[in-house]
Chain A
Amino acid sequence: MPALPALLDVRGLTITATLPGREVTLLDDVDLQVRAGEVVGVVGESGSGKTTLARSVVGLLERNVSVAGGAIDLVGETVAAPGLDRTETVRGSSVGMVFQDASRSLNPLMRVRRALGEVLKRHVPGIDARDVAARSADVLRKMRIEDPERVLDSYPHQLSGGLRQRVAIGLAVVTNPALVIADECTTALDVTTQAEVVTLFRHLVDELGVGLLFVTHDLMLASDLCDRIAVMYAGRVVEDDATDTVLGSPTEDYTRRLLEAVPHWSEGEPAAHG
C-alpha cells in the first residue's frame, strides 16, 4: 500500500480562526495521508480539530476561519493553501462527504430520487434521464438496499434512520469520488445500525477502491474499521500509525489515556456508545 501515491495529502496544515481581538489556532501543523483503498480514522475528543480537518478538505470552513499555513493536495492537485481555495472544483466530484445526522442531512421536501438526480446532473455533464435512474438505483443497491425503487420514491421521513444514513452515503458516492469523508456519521445511530454502516463502509472501500477518511470520537468503532488511525489532540496529530500499533503500543500519553477511557477495552467487550 505505501507504493500508491496518496489521494489526500495534508501537509503542515495550519488553520486559524479570527475572533474579535485575537487569533485562535484550530489546526497546528497537521500531516495526514489517505491512499486509495485505505481507511484512515481521525480520532479525538470534541474540539480537537477533527471536524475542522475534515471540512477544510471540501472548503466548508466558517467565514472567519482560514488556512494559515501548509497545503491540502487532492489526487495530485493542491486544492487549499494560504490564499488559495480551489475546493469548489472537487466538492461532490473528487470528494464525497457524509455528515453526522442523516435524518437532517437530506432535504425533507425532496424524494431520494430527486436528491440523487440533482447531484448526478451537476457532476456528470450530459447525463440523460435513463442513466440518472439507472445510476441512482445502482448506487442504492451498492448500499445494500434491497428495494431501491421504493427508497427512491420515498421522502426522507418515510425511511428508517439506518436507511437514511445509507441514502446519505449513497449521495456522497454516486458520482464516484476518489475520496469519501465521513464526519461523525455514526454518532446519531443506534449501535446495531452503527455496525451495519461500518460494514458498509468496509465493503465500499474494498469494492470501489475509494479512500475513506473516517472522523469519529469513538475509538472502538475506528479500531473495527480503520487501517490507520490518527489521534488528534488540541489541533495537533499526536499519533498516526497502523491501527494495531496505535491501539497495541501507543507512544503518546494522550492515546494511552484515551484507550483507558474506553470501558472494558481490555476484555474486548462492547462499550456503551452514546
Chain B
Amino acid sequence: MSQLDSKIATVTASEPMARAPRRRRTSVFWLALPLGVIAVLVVFLPMTGLLHDPGQTDLGNTLAPPGFLSGGSWSHPLGTDKLGQDVLAQLVEGGRLTLFIGLVGALVSIGPGTLMGVLAGYFRGWVDVVISRLIDAQLALPFILIALAIIANRGSSLPILFLVLALTGWAPCARVTRSVAMTVRERQFVLGLRAAGASEARIVLRHIVPNLAGTIVALGTLQVGTAILVESALSFLGLGIVPPDISWGAMLAAGQDVLSRAWWVALFPGLAITLVVLLVNLLGDALLTHHDPRKRRH
C-alpha cells in the first residue's frame, strides 16, 4: 500500500449516463399518438351510436358517393358500397379486426421468433447452426405460397390466419434477436453470472431476455405493420377475412370490381392501411434506433 497511498491525485469523474437524444423521444411520442387515437376511435366510435350499423344493407342506395361529392349525402359521409352499407361504419368496424390481427399477429410471430433467436445467439454451436438454417429456409419461401398451402388445406379462419402470420413472421425476428443476443452474451456480467453458478435457463430468461426488451418491442411494432399488410393481401385474395366479417383488406377486395364507378369503396380502406402501416413502421424504426446496441453505452 505504501507506494500507492501517497501522492496520487483523485480523478473519479462521475460517469455520464447514456441518454437518448431528446428529439428521438419526441418522435416516438408523435408517432405513437395518432396510432393511439386511431385505436381509440375504432374501439369506441361504434359504441357512441353515431355510426350506421356496418352490416345494414340498403339496396335502394348502393354506391352512394361520399358526402363531399355532388350527389352525396352527409348521412353516409364516405359513401356506401354495392350493398348500400355505410363505408365509414365499415371502415371503423374493419379497423377493429385489422388492428386486432396486427397486434395478435405480431405477438404470435415475435414470441417464437425471440425464443429461437435468443437460443441461437446465446448457445451458439449446433443449436445456432440448426436455427440459422431454419431461418434461411423460412426466408427463402415466399409467404404467399405458405399461406396458399395452409389455407387450401385448412380453410380460412382467424386461428389459421394467425398460424400463417406466425410462420411467416418468426424468421426475421429470430434473425435480429439472435444477433443482439450474441452481443449481450459477450458482456462481462454474463460471465460473472456463470462464475456465480447461475443456471443457463436463469441467465437466458432473467438476464439476457430483459436486456433484449427494447429490441423486442421495436421488432414487435414493425411486425404489427407486416401482419396488417399480410392480412390485407390475403383478404384481398379472398384467403383471409371473408364477408360477413369486415377487415380493411376485405373492404379493398369488395371495392375492387366497382373501382371505376365507385372508387371510394376501396380508397378509404386503402388509405387507412397505408396510414397505419406507415405510422407503425416509422414508430418501429424510431424504437429500433432508440435501442440500437451500437448507440448504447453500458
| B207 in the interface (beta carbon within 8 A) | yes
Chain A CB within 10 Å — which of B1, B194, B195, B211 has the most?
B195
Known contacts A91-B195, A105-B192: A199-B1 contact under CB 8 Å: yes
Q: Are A270 and B196 in contact (CB under 8 A)?
A: no
CB of B159 within 8 A of chain A?
Answer: no
Q: Quick check: which of A69-77, A115-123, A142-150, A240-248 contacts chain B, the rest being far away?
A: A115-123
Size category, A interface:
35 or more
What are the residues of chain A within 8 A of B193 when measuring CB–CB?
A: 107
A-side contacts of B3, CB under 8 Å: 220, 224, 268-270
Instruction: Answer whether A270 and B7 are a contact pair too, CB < 8 Å, given A157-B17, A192-B12.
Output: yes
Report if B154 contacts A (CB, 8 A). Answer: no
The contact string, 1 if C-beta is below 8 Å from chain A, for chain B 198-210, is 1000100011001
| Interface residue B70 (Cβ < 8 Å from any Cβ of A) | no
In the complex where A97-B195, A109-B210 touch, is A270 in contact with B8 (Cβ < 8 A)? yes
Considering the complex, give the chain A residue whose CB is closest to the CB of B4: A195
CA distance A18 to B135 in the complex (A): 29
Q: A-B pairs with CB below 8 Å: how many?
A: 111
Q: By the criterion of a CB under 8 Å from any partner CB, how many residues of chain B are at the interface?
A: 34
Interface residues of A in 93-115 (CB under 8 A from B): 93, 95-97, 99-101, 103-110
Contact A108 B15, beta carbon cutoff 8 Å? no
Give Cα A199 to B187, complex, Å: 28
**Is there contact, CB below 8 Å, between B15 and A160?**
yes
Taking the complex as formed, is B30 at the interface, i.e. its CB lies under 8 A from any CB of chain A?
no
- A58: contacting residue among B17, B125, B188, B195, CB under 8 A: B195
The answer to the question of B298 belonging to the interface, with a C-beta cut-off of 8 Å to chain A, is yes
Residues of B within 8 A of A104 (CB): 187-189, 298
Are B195 and A60 in contact, with the CB atoms below 8 A? yes
Q: Which residue from A95, A100, A118, A171 sits with its C-beta under 8 Å from B188?
A: A100
The answer, yes or no, to whether B127 is at the interface (CB within 8 Å) is no
Chain B residues positioned under 8 Å from A107 (CB to CB)? 189, 193, 207, 210-211
Q: Which residues of A contact B7 (CB under 8 A)?
A: 270
B11 within 8 A of A: yes
Please determine whether A220 and B191 come into contact, CB atoms closer than 8 angstroms. Answer: no
Q: In the complex, are the beta carbons of B196 and A92 less than 8 A apart?
A: yes
CB B232 to nearest CB in A, in angstroms, measures 37
Q: Flag whether A260 is at the interface (Cβ < 8 A).
A: no
Which residues on the B side are within 8 Å of A250 (C-beta)? none
Expressed in whole angstroms, the minimum distance between the Cβ of A200 and any Cβ of chain B is 11
Is A162 engaged at the interface, CB distance under 8 Å to the other chain?
yes
Which of chain B's residues has its CB closest to A91's CB? Answer: B197
A194 to B2, CA, bound (A): 13
**Contact A108:B196 (CB < 8 A) given known A220-B4, A224-B3:** no
Determine the chain B residues whose CB is within 8 A of the CB of A199 once the complex forms. 1
Q: Is A172 an interface residue (CB 8 A)?
A: yes
Contact status A91-B194, CB under 8 Å:
yes
Task: Provide 8 A-B residue pairs closer than 8 Å at the C-beta atoms, listed in order of the A residue.
Answer: A91-B194, A93-B197, A160-B15, A190-B12, A191-B8, A195-B1, A199-B1, A224-B1
Given A96-B196, A118-B206, A171-B192: 19 more A-B contacts, CB < 8 Å: A91-B196, A96-B195, A99-B195, A105-B189, A105-B192, A106-B192, A107-B189, A108-B298, A122-B198, A157-B298, A161-B12, A191-B8, A192-B10, A198-B4, A199-B1, A224-B4, A268-B2, A268-B3, A269-B3
